[in-house]
Amino acid sequence: MISRTTVVVQKDAPLLRCGRGPPRATMSRMTFRFAVVAGRASSGAEWTATARRAEELGYDTLLTPDTLNTYAPFPALAAAAAVTTRLRVGTYVLSAPNRPPGLVAYETESLQQLSDGRFELGIGGGRPGAERDAEALGSAFGSPAERLALVERLIELVRANEHPPRVLVAASKPRMLRLAARLADTIALGLPPAATEEELARTVSDLREFAGDRFDELELKTNIAGIAPSPSELPPWLSRLTGGGDPAAMAESGSLVFLTGSAEQIADLLRHRREKYAVSYIGMNAMFMEEFAPVIKLLRSA
């Protein structure tokens, strides 16, 4: 039994020949993928149990944030990969200022080999408040332009590795969206917690313009903070993950970070978002991975 104490925070070269995951060339942008987003556990045993359970439930990926309140991503993901066989593992997302790009490329190559090609690198310019993490780690956070350049340099170095992974870029503002449209395999749409499908439509429209002919090669991802049969059944503590907003009220207003309804209704909604907005990669807060599993079954059987 997995304890509920788990804390959640929030094409190019082929994968390793021995890797168990699908090579980029065959990973359709319209094929659903599902990730568990987890950052910490009460023990190493609970952490690895979470990874094994995610694999059993049919999730494709275990994603780990990069904050000082969560495990250091590379060792945590190495531990998860060691106890699973199919589950892919990824950073969600590394804050570019926290580490020199060369170090990230070195760590990436190691984990890509140790996981038999199941690692996916997620990178971003730093979430709000990430400057405090950079300072604690002895790094300069830098200006937005400097962080953008760091992300680009990091991707360049990782792609030069012998066994480059899939690259996810977290993006919300135009300059990062442009970079992601040009360089990423997957784009995590960093919309604010209260964003609705209207904001999603605008962002995807901008991204389509930035990417041009490359848009059809991109996999688009959104993240879910919680799931429940109805908005009123979303736990109030979820407000900690959404900037203090009331989860029930946000869900009633159409917030993208909450899913409510029956498994069938939620599956229909996600199919709609895939068809209309090309969002096919869904990240789920690990606290709700059991509740979301029936939806995965429905979408896999469709």
User: What's the pLDDT band for 203 if we cut at 50, 70, 90?
Assistant: very high
Decide if pLDDT at 14 tops 70.
no
Beta strand 226-228 pairing with 166-171: unpaired
Decide if pLDDT at 211 tops 80.
yes
In tens, the pLDDT along 235-270 reads 999 999 888 999 999 999 999 999 999 999 999 999
> Which whole number is the average pLDDT over 8-15?
36
CATH architecture entry for 24-301: Alpha-Beta Barrel (3.20)
pLDDT of residue 139: 85
User: What's the pLDDT band for 30 if we cut at 50, 70, 90?
Assistant: confident
In contact, 189 and 156? CB cutoff 8 Å: no
Among 39-48, 125-134, 172-181, the range scoring the smallest mean pLDDT is 125-134
Say which residues have a Cβ less than 8 Å from residue 47's Cβ, sequence separation at least 6. Answer: 38, 40, 41, 71, 76, 79, 80
Decide if pLDDT at 16 tops 60.
no
In tens, the pLDDT along 119-165 reads 999 999 877 777 888 888 888 888 989 999 999 999 999 999 999 99
pLDDT of residue 126: 78
User: Quick one: which H or E segment has residue 17?
Assistant: none
- pTM (whole model) above 0.85: yes
> Which whole number is the average pLDDT over 104-110?
98
pLDDT of residue 88: 98
pLDDT of residue 141: 84
Outline where the chain has alpha helix (H): 44-57, 73-82, 101-114, 130-136, 144-159, 174-183, 197-211, 247-252, 263-277, 289-301
pLDDT of residue 45: 98
Decide if pLDDT at 187 tops 60.
yes
User: What's the pLDDT band for 8 if we cut at 50, 70, 90?
Assistant: very low
Question: 56-68: string of b/e by CB count within 10 Å (b at 16+)?
Answer: ebebbbbbbbbbe
Q: Which two tokens stand for residue 115?
A: 């996981």
> Which whole number is the average pLDDT over 176-182?
97
User: What's the pLDDT band for 281 if we cut at 50, 70, 90?
Assistant: very high
- Residue corresponding to tokens 């890509």: 112
> Which whole number is the average pLDDT over 184-194?
96
Report which DSSP code applies to 283. E
Question: How many residues are given for the chain?
Answer: 302
pLDDT of residue 22: 38
pLDDT of residue 1: 35
Decide if pLDDT at 4 tops 50.
no
Rounded to whole angstroms, the maximal C-alpha distance in the chain is 50
pLDDT of residue 302: 62
pLDDT of residue 235: 97
